[in-house]
Amino acid sequence: MITRKSKLTRELSKIEGFLKPKLSLRQYMTPPAIASELLWTAYMNGDIEGREVCDLGAGTGMLTIGASLLGGRVTGYEIDSEAIRIAISNAHKLKARIIILQMDVDEVTDYCNTIIMNPPFMVIGGKNDKVFLKKAFTLSERVYSIHTTQTRSWIKKYAESNGYNAQIISTREFPLPKEFKHQSKELVKQEVDLWYFFR
């Protein structure tokens, strides 16, 4: 088990991302430093070690594997089989024990102590981060998540209307492939908030 944040970031930097990211599913891997910050906060709050942890939209396993390396019993849910294949290979490489279930987030009904997720943002209609957050609030009392800074006031109001306290852990620049923001540069920076919701 890992007990230092710097070591966690180093391990997470070995994780492979999506081979051919699917635009419709908003597939972009969380950068190791951001994943590590979110996970470490949850760990220090006592929400990872020895806890049942879920990751909604697990992708190639960045948060699922990170939570496992910190001593969580982790289940990741992911709709895309190609992403799951890479997540399993990443888990082998980092010697992490994880369970990944191929499922649409709508179908998840298992309660867990803690949810850690980086859901798809900026999907117009469809399964966007608000859909993921709504689901997370039905499954857990403690939710750690990442959302764009533009949606900050909506997110706070939405969490509070569901009976959750909403705290911003930090605000970071998240590099997104240009396809996600219709821009000409290869990578664009999206400002995001790292959130902790609890009740």
Residues in contact with ligand SAH by the rule CB under 6 A: 25-30, 57-59, 62-63, 77-80, 83, 104-105, 118, 120, 127
User: 3-class DSSP state for residue 94?
Assistant: coil
Minimum CB separation of residue 127 from ligand SAH in Å reads 4
CB of 11 to ligand SAH, least distance (A): 14
- Sign of the alpha-carbon dihedral angle for 26, 45, 103, 19: positive
Nearest Cα residue to 76 out of 95, 102, 96: 102
Residue 59 or 72 having the CB closest to ligand SAH: 59
CB closer to ligand SAH, 67 vs 159:
67
CB of 93 to ligand SAH, least distance (A): 15
- In the complex with ligand SAH, the residue whose CB is nearer, 80 or 193, is 80
If you count them, how many residues does the chain have?
199
Tell me if 100 sits within 8 A of 74, measured CB to CB.
no
Taking the complex as a whole, how short is the minimal distance between the CB of residue 35 and ligand SAH, in angstroms? Answer: 6
* Cα separations in angstroms, 162 against 136, 157, 191: 11, 9, 25
Q: How far apart are CA 145 and CA 194, in angstroms?
A: 6
Asked if 29 contacts 17 with a C-beta cutoff of 8 angstroms, the reply is: yes
Q: What secondary structure letter does DSSP report for 108? A: -
Measured from the CB atom, the residue of 29 and 91 that comes closer to ligand SAH is 29
Q: Which is nearer to ligand SAH, 148 or 199 (CB)?
A: 148
Q: Which of 16, 96, 77, 3 is nearest to 44 (CA)?
A: 3
Nearest distance, CB of residue 15 and ligand SAH, angstroms: 8
Judged by beta carbon, residue 2 or residue 119, the one nearer ligand SAH is 119
The residue sitting closest to ligand SAH, measured at its beta carbon, is: 59
We find the least distance from the C-beta atom of residue 167 to ligand SAH, in angstroms, to be 20
